[in-house]
A and B are shown apart, each in its own frame.
Chain A
Amino acid sequence: LAKTTQPISMDSYEGQEVNITCSHNNIATNDYITWYQQFPSQGPRFIIQGYKTKVTNEVASLFIPADRKSSTLSLPRVSLSDTAVYYCLVSGAGSYQLTFGKGTKLSVIP
């Protein structure tokens, strides 16, 4: 399983765009990248998933460079309700178990 490294914490003001980068140097060819959001005392919530280049949905964008050794979750115009822990995970069809790292605690400041 590819190990991931993220910043432990980040602060942002409301209305700003937040980019959280995750490194996964040992990602395998058939692995894909998934980001989850977790609020206190709740289960993780799926945000976005991708394999390469750029993926966008209604809540976030995921940027993956050509070498796939890192990925960046982009949250546009964050609000106070985006304060949470964000986890980057790498898994593949053959290794579907998700191993959680420490995650990034995002604090949105008014």
Chain B
Amino acid sequence: GAVVSQHPSWVICKSGTSVKIECRSLDFQATTMFWYRQFPKQSLMLMATSNEGSKATYEQGVEKDKFLINHASLTLSTLTVTSAHPEDSSFYICSARSLKGLIYEQYFGPGTRLTVT
């Protein structure tokens, strides 16, 4: 299947600093990527849809000025958590969709564990 990578796999930062997470589709091009957040023992929550060459679409309740998304190429989307606070500590997962025949399959990255101290 298609492979999606994320970097870094984990990061610790101080409160008030910004952190950038990269999501790459390694063997396919993805015009659309998605960013999710997952808190311990909870399900994945969609944060935003990242579209190559255009602005991201954010889900209700997600601050677009705090979670900056850039989808500069067909294989790379980045999520920047600005002025991070301890409540932003979470597991961030990206996904990218690949067209297989007439339907799309979505493949997920391994996730990035963010800890804000």
Contact = CB atoms under 8 A, between A and B. Distances in A.
Interface of A: 32, 34, 36, 41-46, 49, 87, 93, 96-103
A32 B103 contact: yes
B43 A96 contact: no
Contact of B45 (A93, A96, A100, A103): A100
Interface in B29-78: 32, 34, 36, 43-46, 49
B105 A93 contact: no
A32 B93 CA distance: 23
24 contacts: A32-B103, A34-B105, A34-B106, A36-B108, A41-B91, A41-B111, A43-B6, A43-B95, A43-B110, A44-B108, A46-B105, A46-B106, A49-B105, A87-B43, A93-B102, A93-B104, A96-B32, A97-B34, A97-B46, A98-B46, A98-B95, A99-B46, A101-B43, A102-B43
A12 B16 CA distance: 46
B108 A97 contact: no
Given A41-B113, A44-B93, 15 more contacts: A32-B103, A43-B6, A43-B108, A43-B111, A44-B95, A46-B105, A93-B103, A93-B104, A97-B49, A98-B106, A99-B46, A100-B36, A100-B44, A101-B43, A102-B43
Contacts of B43: 87, 100-103
A42 to B, nearest CB: 6
Contacts, number: 53
- Closest 10 A/B residue pairs (Cβ): A43-B108, A100-B44, A100-B43, A44-B108, A43-B111, A43-B93, A43-B110, A43-B109, A102-B43, A96-B104
A97 B46 CA distance: 8
B103 A49 contact: yes
A98 B97 CA distance: 11
